[in-house]
Amino acid sequence: MPTVLFVCEGNRARSQMAEGFFNAWAPPGWRGVSGGTRPRESVHPRAVEMMRDVGIDISRQRPKPFDLGVAAKAWRVIAMCTLGACPVDVAEKTEHWDIPDPADVPEARWTEIRDEIASRVKELLAEIRGGT
């Protein structure tokens, strides 16, 4: 099954939202997974709430460590953090989305961050559907 791996530091907000969007919208046979370079204890409650606001339930997702084996087999690896904080490199299949960690910005920006993640996931899915 083709897989897209979304990675951020804590695996508690950005990459969890991306995984949720991807799995809600992906074509049959595709799956999104996420992992963190330093996974936290739980998904941020605000991330769960914000995704629920757009009809996607990520309440059962849990932070997981970044898995190099999954990354090596993934169709694409999306590093969602700053390069210095998220040193994920799996050769030519890594794409970098420099999206701020919601925990580091005022809560008023969370919607903007969620919507940017949604937009980028839609672009990624358009690429998949286009066969590139």
Q: Is 24 a catalytic residue?
A: no
pLDDT by residue (tens digit) across 37-56? Answer: 889 999 999 999 999 999 99
How far apart CA 36 and CA 108 sit, in angstroms, is: 24
How far apart CA 75 and CA 130 sit, in angstroms, is: 15
* Of 30 and 72, more confident: 30
Pairing of strands 3-8, 31-36: parallel
Instruction: Note the pLDDT of residue 116.
Output: 96
How far apart CA 51 and CA 20 sit, in angstroms, is: 8
- CATH T-level assignment (fold) for domain 3-127: Rossmann fold (3.40.50)
Across-strand partners of 32?
Answer: 4
Q: Is 17 a catalytic residue?
A: no
Instruction: Note the pLDDT of residue 111.
Output: 95
Mean per-residue pLDDT for 120-129? 95
Selected catalytic residue, list 80, 81, 118, 125: 81
Selected catalytic residue, list 18, 77, 86, 88: 86
Domain coordinates of the chain in residue numbers? 3-127
Selected catalytic residue, list 4, 8, 88, 124: 8
- DSSP strands (E only) in 1-100: 3-8, 31-36, 76-79, 94-96
Instruction: Note the pLDDT of residue 98.
Output: 84
pLDDT by residue (tens digit) across 76-102? Answer: 999 987 666 666 665 567 788 989 888
| 15 neighbors 6 (Cβ within 8 angstroms) | yes
Q: Is 86 a catalytic residue?
A: yes
How far apart CA 75 and CA 36 sit, in angstroms, is: 18
Sheet containing 31-36: which strands, arranged edge to edge?
A: 31-36, 3-8, 76-79, 94-96
Per-residue DSSP letter, 108? G
Mean per-residue pLDDT for 66-77? 90
